Amino acid sequence: MLILFDNIEAFLESSPEEMQEEINLHMKWIEDLGDHYDSGEPLHLEAKNIKGKEKVVSDGPFIEAKELVGGFYIIKANSLDEATDLAKGCPVLRLGGSIEVREVMKM
């Protein structure tokens, strides 16, 4: 799983045309992944955080954050290293974002 963290400043400063170009780059990258691509979705900006035994709910994302979780991809790879190499082509990186690469545990 690739968890995408957008650079919030770049995200908020983008024009509608720049946002569309970013979407187009993601679609092209997905196409280039071929059989490695499984699924993925963008996420809405609004979030809720539930914490601890008391189940305290707070709103997010938080203003002090420099990155926000913008979406995720599920890709097929033979190893964490291969998934990491594939993730290096993701367009989120060109605007200063980051990607967390995690293996989905089989249960």
**What digits encode the pLDDT tens for the residues 65-83?**
667 889 999 999 999 999 9
Residues 40, 72 contacting (CB under 8 angstroms): yes
66 by DSSP, 3-state: which? coil
Q: Where are the domains of the chain?
A: 2-101
pTM: 0.86
SS3 72: strand
Q: Which amino acid is at 89?
A: G
Second CATH level (architecture) for the domain 2-101: 2-Layer Sandwich (3.30)
Q: What is the pLDDT of residues 38-51, one digit of tens each?
A: 999 999 888 888 88
**89 to 45, 67, 85, 92, 94: CA distances (angstroms):** 24, 19, 8, 9, 9
